[in-house]
Amino acid sequence: MAAWTADELDRIGRATEVAVASRRADGTLSPYVTIWGVRSGDDIYIRSAYGPGNGWYRRAKARQAGRIRAGGVERDVQFGEAAADIHPAIDAAYHAKYDRYGPQIVGTVVGPSAAAVTLRVVPADSTS
């Protein structure tokens, strides 16, 4: 797998929103959905604010490949599981970035239920 560049991590980490699309079996992309995402260390994470039934999350988890756009970065990616021990840092990153929107909104993307619907976003080998 490829790695994020420092510039990509900075730009995606600063972007308020992330547009995410999963790749269908025929190689085309599902429509982009705008969500929140965070940088933690050298990784990017996204969470389903409305649980495991959210359509974009189900598609991304099942297909494990797609594309993201954020902060002027557009990249083919793979969606994977987040390590169990990283969730407190991801929660802290969501709080730092989004607390200005209030606890009711931020509460949808932090805590144990949000940890269960977290995806690690990793650049795919190809950037086409």
Q: Which range marks the domain in which residue 113 is found?
A: 6-123
Please check whether residue 1 lies inside any domain of the structure. no
User: What is the total count of domains within the chain?
Assistant: 1
Q: Cβ distance 78 to 122 under 8 Å?
A: yes
CATH number of the domain where residue 76 is located:
2.30.110.10
Please check whether residue 128 lies inside any domain of the structure. no
Buried b (16+ CB within 10 A) or exposed e, 60-69: bbebbebbbb
Beta bridge mates, 33: 20
Q: pLDDT (tens digit, 0 to 9) for every residue of the chain, 128 residues total? A: 589 999 999 999 999 999 999 999 999 999 999 999 999 999 999 999 989 999 999 999 999 999 999 999 999 999 999 999 999 999 999 999 999 999 889 999 999 999 999 999 999 974 43
Please check whether residue 96 lies inside any domain of the structure. yes
Please check whether residue 97 lies inside any domain of the structure. yes
